[in-house]
Amino acid sequence: MAVHLLVLNGPNLNRLDLREKSFYGDIDYQDICAAVDNAAQELGFSADIRQSNDEAELISWLHEAAEKKIPVIFNPAAFTHYSYAIRDAVVMLKAPCIEVHISNPLSREEFRHTSVVSGVVAGTIAGFGLDSYRLAIRAMKGLLGN
Ligand code: DQA
């Protein structure tokens, strides 16, 4: 039976096609959904992929994942850099969480060099475009023991 996986995406990732191509490449949110779906299916996961521009909604999805003990792959987008509320919700998760970024925040503006989330997740994968999500799904498979 497929293992349930929650893939959460933060603000502005639904408008990737309108953002800086030099950082995000030529992809849109549907490309993320397709890449995640394919990789998940290949590795025996059923992925529930969600995006929100609303911090409160992301937090309520993290609460849901905690209650149901669902593993999470999470691109918190700009909330990565300053949302202690998101960090506190990640701490409460019961199954592993992997942080993902399409771009490499460490090669960008200084404010992106801080992640308030990195310290409370199993690991972070950044800078590989859609492959960041594929690699995270692969890593999640390993974390869950197969
Ligand atoms: C991002 C990197 C963040 O710094 C930025 O605010 C985003 C996207 C990424 O996937 O590369 O919105 O999380």
Q: Give the CATH number for residue 26.
A: 3.40.50.9100
| Under-70 pLDDT residues of the chain | 146
Residue 121 neighbours by CB under 8 Å, 6+ apart: 74, 90, 96, 97, 98, 99
CA 17–ligand 1 middle distance (angstroms): 13
Among residues 29, 81, 101, 113, the one annotated as catalytic is 101
Q: Determine whether 101 is an active site residue.
A: yes
Domain count, the chain: 1
Range of the domain at 53: 3-143
What integer pLDDT is reported at residue 1 of this predicted model?
82
2-26 residue pLDDT tens: 899 999 999 999 999 989 999 999 9
Q: Determine whether 81 is an active site residue.
A: no
Inter-residue contact 79 to 10 (CB < 8 Å): yes
Residue 129 gets the label, from left (phi > 0), alpha (psi -120 to 50) or beta, of left
From residue 28, alpha-carbon distances to 31, 56, 74, 78, 121 in Å are 5, 24, 17, 17, 26
Q: What is the pTM of this model?
A: 0.97
